[in-house]
Amino acid sequence: MNQESANQIFELITNAENIVIVAHKAPDGDSIGSSLALYHFLSALSIDSTVCHPDKAPDFLEWMPGFSDIHTHEESSADVENHLNRADLLICLDFNSPTRVGKMENLLRNFEGKKVMIDHHLNPDLEFFDAYISEPPVCSTAQLIFEFIESQDKLESLNLDCAACIYTGIMTDTGSFRFSSVTSKTHRIGAHLLEIGLDQSKIHERVFDQTTEDQIKLTSYTLLEKLVIKKDLEVAYISLTQEELAKFDAKKGDTEGLVNRALGIKGVKMAVFLKEDVEIVKISFRSKGKIPVNQLAQEHFEGGGHLNAAGGKVVGKMNSALHKLVTILPNFVNKNKATFNEIS
Ligand SMILES: [Mn+2]
């Protein structure tokens, strides 16, 4: 981590009167984990801050310490607007452009105080921020929060609440410490958190052992009826219409992980998940090795993301999205045949 940027950010924090912490829309373990970790750390330093997110996190994160202190624009836009109007420092975590906060975009664009970013996504909109830590190779923003605390020599103020949030962020953004973004540093951070007394198996339990009957039935139905494996292309895809989602009373986050199930199939090197919403189909792409699914998302599906994990969309219904996908797939696979063949 760049020591100068970290110092600059810490100075902005100590000089601020009123701090708001924001993260991206459609929250996940890392956006919630990094936001609450910073919130707990600042609180340990007797610095008040308010966490304001665009929308509510999925139920499996509700146990996180400080969760009930999060304000959401979705539930109370006036309240969030008030907090932003009063704030003189905005700390943006786990996203790198004002386009990633949904309906809060204009609030961020019109914000008159200082804006800080701490993030690990590609292609940051650096001009938007007054100070930033942008480290795409790092596995999670939660890891960057740890490194930030460490850079200020303040690890003694990292308490168990903060530790639980950092661990959750790292764990959920790394597929439980398995992705190639995990380094010896990541494990050293995990070791530090355990040394101060974190019960890590409890966190795995709270995050992963929370499946409801509807969720397991939706997963079973999807894998049995909706999984398509194109053996010749080494690609698998799954689609779910609004009707199917409603049948299993699918909630936010219930389809999380389905695309990884498809990618986990032997012989499959790339997986796609299509989810129909009102007048739009959201698409998630996953790949192994060096297959650049972010290019596919960017060139054809109005999206982008990481090399191995990207997202996009098609305006319209599932039929038209599926048609577009199966038309484009063979060309994409052919164009990237070398990267497909590199994977054994
Ligand atoms: Mn993240």
CATH code where residue 140 lies: 3.90.1640.10
Distance 242 CA to ligand 1 centre (A): 27
Q: Are residues 89 and 119 in the same domain?
A: yes
> Could you tell me how far CA 243 lies from the centroid of its own chain?
26
Number of domains present in the structure of the chain = 2
Average of pLDDT values for 216-236? 97
Angle between helical axes of 200-208 and 160-173 (0-180°, round to 10) = 50
Distance 127 CA to ligand 1 centre (A): 21
> What is the predicted pLDDT for the residue at 273?
98
Distance 30 CA to ligand 1 centre (A): 5
Question: pLDDT tens digit string along 306-317?
Answer: 888 899 999 999
> What is the predicted pLDDT for the residue at 251?
86
> What is the predicted pLDDT for the residue at 49?
98
- Here the tokens at position 110 are 């019109």
> What is the predicted pLDDT for the residue at 322?
98
> What is the predicted pLDDT for the residue at 211?
86
> What is the predicted pLDDT for the residue at 180?
86
Q: Which of 149-153, 183-187, 309-313 has the lowest mean pLDDT?
A: 309-313
Question: pLDDT tens digit string along 228-282?
Answer: 999 999 999 999 999 999 999 998 778 988 999 999 999 999 999 999 999 999 9
Amino acid sitting at position 204: H
Distance 254 CA to ligand 1 centre (A): 19
Closest CA to 99 of 190, 39, 25: 25
Distance 72 CA to ligand 1 centre (A): 19
Task: Rounding to the nearest 10 degrees, give the CA dihedral for residues 79, 44, 101, 144.
Answer: 180
Contacts of 64 (CB under 8 A, 6+ apart): 32, 33, 36, 164, 165, 168
> What is the predicted pLDDT for the residue at 279?
94
What is the number of residues in the chain?
Answer: 344
Q: Are residues 263 and 118 in the same domain?
A: no
Residue after which a domain boundary falls, among 208, 242, 273: 208
Question: pLDDT tens digit string along 104-113?
Answer: 999 999 999 9
> Residue 289 region, left (φ>0) first, then alpha (ψ -120 to 50), else beta?
left
Range of the domain at 223: 213-342
Distance 82 CA to ligand 1 centre (A): 27
| Whole-angstrom distance, CA of residue 305 vs CA of residue 334 | 21
Distance 334 CA to ligand 1 centre (A): 31
Residue after which a domain boundary falls, among 208, 240, 267: 208
Q: Are residues 279 and 190 in the same domain?
A: no
Q: Are residues 250 and 272 in the same domain?
A: yes
| Whole-angstrom distance, CA of residue 216 vs CA of residue 255 | 10
Q: Are residues 110 and 148 in the same domain?
A: yes
* Greater pLDDT, 19 or 208: 19
> What is the predicted pLDDT for the residue at 18?
97
Q: Are residues 103 and 221 in the same domain?
A: no
| Whole-angstrom distance, CA of residue 145 vs CA of residue 295 | 29
Distance 101 CA to ligand 1 centre (A): 14
Distance 143 CA to ligand 1 centre (A): 9
Distance 331 CA to ligand 1 centre (A): 31
Distance 94 CA to ligand 1 centre (A): 5
Distance 61 CA to ligand 1 centre (A): 15
> What is the predicted pLDDT for the residue at 254?
87
| Whole-angstrom distance, CA of residue 263 vs CA of residue 234 | 10
- Here the tokens at position 64 are 């996180």
Contacts of 202 (CB under 8 A, 6+ apart): none
Q: Taking every pair of C-alpha atoms in the chain, what is the biggest distance, in angstroms?
A: 60
Consecutive H or E run containing 301: none
Distance 277 CA to ligand 1 centre (A): 24
CB 297 within 8 A of CB 283: yes
Distance 327 CA to ligand 1 centre (A): 31
Average of pLDDT values for 86-106? 97
Angle between helical axes of 141-151 and 29-44 (0-180°, round to 10) = 20
Q: Are residues 330 and 259 in the same domain?
A: yes
Average pLDDT over the chain reads: 96
| Whole-angstrom distance, CA of residue 310 vs CA of residue 288 | 12
Q: Are residues 135 and 203 in the same domain?
A: yes
- Here the tokens at position 309 are 């994990």
Contacts of 85 (CB under 8 A, 6+ apart): none
